[in-house]
Structure 1
């Protein structure tokens, strides 16, 4: 099934099913008020949602409407928690060089993960308000999963079975603020503003063979101001989502609706390009001896879209956003 959330003035928005071809949407208020509600009551609502989804794709849903991605909030405008990993070791090792930090112990055997803000996710076409260009504005393209309840101490196999939805994410970063926060030992806060999501969340079966071994085996095509930036492949993810979820649940349970991210999609091949500016900058430094690429400026735009290996558009839709200067709060 494919889901989206339409903005309606409430914190969680209105849930709709989205047709296979992405042209039509079907409100389902009698089944679930929101996607968070659906995930939290999954076993009770799955069958009626599947029935309505079948009717929508067969053209039998008389109350279907045109699907407009610009009317969408994030699939989950807010979540119990947002946990982001660095599951592509190539990216993590490049970032060690970028931030001049010592190697992380056991990086290739124990995932690294931080807890970010989950109370104010951005929709796929919303402007991204940020306070200062001097903060080092950067995009980060990645994939994520939304989970059912996960028991403390779950195995990777048990954790993998808890995946309910797969999502595409732009995890915004403020690179000038990151090094200090990492050195404090308390993790990211100001360096990680609200993340953005593609309009459509999908059940894993919608991906077909592109969902395999707990990984999204698709290319994430990234453009910056209309120019190609990269299309790294999600199949190079070193830790599966099952492993990431189990890591998060080692000492605590996860509630339904929690989101676990892969971290920036990154490939060893330079030809794949990158999914964030910081990675390109450190590659420039390593390969050419000097950084040439600046971070984003107000008015810059970024576009992200996952695609299948055969070139077909992926099921998540498009993230296309503009960076804007945040307005000062009114007294």
Structure 2
């Protein structure tokens, strides 16, 4: 099934897609509220909405929010080797991938307050002159757990959606020079959407560590890079095992795959130099897409003037 969260006046609504129509669940229902088991409750709610929806609205023009607008946590991993190799060029010299990278799927916590929906404009962070995007796929936790072994971890995933991890590279590089971060370099925006595709719908595409599906990133309609989702070095099961070691993953938690090969400007700069492509500026549009999961096109805008933000 394919679930969306959309704005309905002052409130959010949840619906399941049937073709190009949204079959709405009852007002007040949230995707997070339907999680907590192995996906049965979510599927039952979706089936009821397909049979007897509370409302039916057209997908086209519906103001989509992030499928999970308020994730408890967002962990962002780094699992695509091509991306790691490419960005190392920014460090200069002949630095290779640290051996530690192959030992475990490294991640950092990013800002759940920064989540944007697939129709939202993306502001350039304050003080940033090297703004970048990152094409990723996020797994959403449906069933919580602690110390989850990889052999059981797949049942904890309710579904997947696109993730764009917007990155202020100059701020990121500066703060990581003190051996902390990234923090403010990743703090302003994180786009999720357009739909949450349940894990069972992707099963026919299973391949290696992920799924045999294409990934594409473009700026102003010019393709920047492509990759295959199953090029991940680590699986989501391994990511969950590592994330939950000594702690919990909870329903609604988001786990990003990390940037795919060719999925950001930083990799292009690392391979071809700083003149290979200008950083993102207000007026640019960034489109990320993954087969089956859909597409998001985001417009880059100036950061609001002081006193006009939240």
> TM exceeds 0.5?
yes
| Equivalent-residue separation in structure 1 for 2:241 and 2:207 (angstroms) | 17
- 1:295 maps to which residue? 279
Normalising to structure 2: TM-score of the pair? 0.89
For the pair 1:123 / 2:117, whether they are aligned, the reply is yes
Q: Taking structure 1 as reference, are residues 52 and 103 closer, same or farther at Cα in structure 2, changes over 3 Å only?
A: same
Q: Describe the SS at the equivalent of 1:29.
A: coil
Q: Aligned-residue CA RMSD in angstroms?
A: 2.4
Normalising to structure 1: TM-score of the pair? 0.84
Across the two proteins, how many residue pairs are aligned to each other?
Answer: 305
- 1:135 maps to which residue? 129
The CA deviation at 1:64 is 2.2
- 1:163 maps to which residue? 157
- 1:111 maps to which residue? 105
| Equivalent-residue separation in structure 2 for 1:187 and 1:321 (angstroms) | 25
The CA deviation at 1:139 is 0.8
Indicate the structure with greater strand content. Answer: 2
Range 38-47 or range 169-178, more displaced: 38-47
The CA deviation at 1:306 is 1.3
2:250 to 245, 252, 255: 255
| Equivalent-residue separation in structure 2 for 1:47 and 1:173 (angstroms) | 35
Contact map agreement 1:220 1:231 (CA 8 A) in 2? yes
The 5 Å alignment of 1:43-192 reads 45-52=41-48, 54-55=50-51, 61=53, 63-68=55-60, 70-100=62-92, 103-132=97-126, 134-192=128-186
- 1:270 maps to which residue? none
The CA deviation at 1:213 is 4.6
For the pair 1:227 / 2:204, whether they are aligned, the reply is no
The CA deviation at 1:110 is 1.3
For the pair 1:198 / 2:198, whether they are aligned, the reply is no
Deviations 1:280-311 (A, max 9, x none): 111114xxxx743221111110111212xxxx
| Equivalent-residue separation in structure 2 for 1:209 and 1:47 (angstroms) | 18
Range 140-149 or range 212-221, more displaced: 212-221
Q: What 5-or-longer segments of structure 2 have no aligned partner? A: none
| Equivalent-residue separation in structure 2 for 1:154 and 1:207 (angstroms) | 22
- 1:284 maps to which residue? 272
The CA deviation at 1:68 is 3.1
